[in-house]
Structure 1
Amino acid sequence: MTEIIFLVEDDPEGGYTARALGESIFTQADTLKDLKEYVRDAVRYYQAVLAQLQGN
């Protein structure tokens, strides 16, 4: 499995954002705890889509 690195930043409108460096993954949440969960969910979804596109 390839490592995916996320840049986590404060959202100017409140909460936090996370975006993957080099991949098309982005999510946001009100708390860091929620953001961690949302990042995991986003990565799982991203990997499932890639597998489907590759016919796995």
Structure 2
Amino acid sequence: MHTEKEIIFIAWESPEGGYEAHSPGHSIYTQADNFEELKAMVHDAVCCHFEEDERPRIIRLHQVLPPGDE
């Protein structure tokens, strides 16, 4: 069994309001009304996606500008 040490999420402000996040390389996507709630939703999504003994111990949330805002 191979356990990843960390997982990275890319987060951005949604055009409809709130925030969205996904993890490249995994089929994990979540959204929330504000950034603090998004952090909790990302943690919950990781817990749901991985079995406890395979779960990455480090979760990185990288916020980027939405397309067109560069």
Aligned: 1:43 with 2:46: yes
Compare relative contact order (CA 8 Å, sep 6+) and give the higher one, 1 or 2: 2
More strand by share: 2
Q: Identity percentage over the alignment?
A: 47
What amino acid is the match of 2:33? D
TM-score, with structure 1 as normaliser: 0.80
Number of corresponding residues:
49
Q: After TM superposition, what 4+ stretches of structure 1 lie above 4 angstroms from structure 2?
A: none
TM-score (norm 2): 0.65
Instruction: In structure 2, list runs of 5 or more residues that go unmatched.
Output: 55-70
**RMSD of Structure 2 on Structure 1 (CA):** 1.2
Runs of 5+ unmatched residues, structure 1: 52-56
Structure 1 CA distance, aligned partners of 2:8 and 2:26? 9
